[in-house]
Amino acid sequence: MVSLVLPSLCKVSKFSLSMKTILKTCYVSVTLDPDTAHYELTLTENQRQVTHGSPSKKSKTPKRFSVSPCMLGCETFTSGRHFFEVNVYQSTDWDVGVCLENVPRDSQIILGPIYGFWAISRRKSLGYFVNSISLVPLDQEKVSWHVGVFLDCESRQVSFYNMNTSSCIFTFKNASFSGVLKPYFWVCKGSILCLPPLEK
C-alpha cells in the first residue's frame, strides 16, 4: 500500500505514483459557497468556477465577504486528510488554500496562519509567495496554473502541489487548527478560478 502521509512527500519523487491513491482516498469535490462570495465575484451554475468582474446584487449575509474579493468552499474540515485541486489559468492575482470558518468578513484580509489562513498566493507586483511567520517568496518555476491543496488535520500540515509536475510547492507545518476549516479563494479583477472535476 502507498503511504498517504503527504506532507513528507515534498522530497519524494514517487508522488506521481501515489497520485491515484491520493485522489481516491482523500479527494474532495469542492463546490464554491455563493453565500460567502464578495459582491464582485460571479459563480457559474455548477458552483465550480468564479470570476471577478463588476459588482452584482447579492443579499447581505453574515457569511459574505464585503471588503476583500474572497469566498469559501461549501465543505468543512475538522479531521482526517483532504485533497482538492484548483485551476488558476493565467490569472495574475489570487490566493488558494484553506482558512478557519470564522475569519472576519468585513475587513481587509491579512494572510498568514496567525490570522487563520494557510494559502499560496500570486500578486502581479510580488510574484508567488506564502505568508507564514513572514512573507516567503516562491520560485516561479515551482508553481503552475494547476494547484493541488492537501490538508492533514492529524499531522497539522497544509501542503501545496504543482499538479503538472507532481512536485511539492510549499508545506505549512505544525499548524494550529483551532476550529472548523474551509477551502479559501481570493480572486482579483479579471481573473478566473476553476475547480476541476475528478478525473476517472
Q: Look at residue 147 in the predicted model and tell me its pLDDT.
A: 94
DSSP code string of 131-173: ESSSEEE--GGG--SEEEEEEETTTTEEEEEETTTTEEEEEE-
Q: Look at residue 15 and tell me whether its pLDDT is greater than 70.
A: no
CB-based burial of residue 140 (10 Å sphere; 0-12 exposed, 13-18 middle, 19+ buried)? exposed
Q: Is residue 1 within 8 Å of 24, Cβ to Cβ?
A: no
Report the chain's C-alpha Rg in angstroms. 16
Q: Look at residue 198 in the predicted model and tell me its pLDDT.
A: 62
Neighbour tally for 45: CB within 10 Å: 6
- pLDDT band with cut points at 50, 70 and 90 for residue 5: very low
Q: Specify whether domain 6-194 bears CATH 3.90.550.10.
A: no
Query: pLDDT tens for residues 106-160?
Result: 999 999 999 999 999 999 888 999 998 788 999 888 888 999 999 999 999 999 9
- pLDDT band with cut points at 50, 70 and 90 for residue 19: low
DSSP three-state, residue 7? helix
Cα(194)–Cα(146) distance, rounded to whole angstroms? 10
pTM assigned to the model: 0.88
- pLDDT band with cut points at 50, 70 and 90 for residue 20: low
- pLDDT band with cut points at 50, 70 and 90 for residue 3: very low
Q: Mean pLDDT across the stretch 42-46?
A: 93
Residue whose C-alpha cell is 465577504: 65
**What are the sequence ranges of the domains in the chain?**
6-194
Q: Look at residue 59 in the predicted model and tell me its pLDDT.
A: 83
Query: pLDDT tens for residues 49-93?
Result: 999 988 888 888 889 999 999 999 999 999 999 999 999 987 889
Q: Look at residue 195 in the predicted model and tell me its pLDDT.
A: 94
Closest CA to 186 of 33, 34, 41: 41
More confident residue, 18 or 98: 98
Query: pLDDT tens for residues 173-199?
Result: 999 898 999 999 999 988 899 998 766
Q: Look at residue 97 in the predicted model and tell me its pLDDT.
A: 98
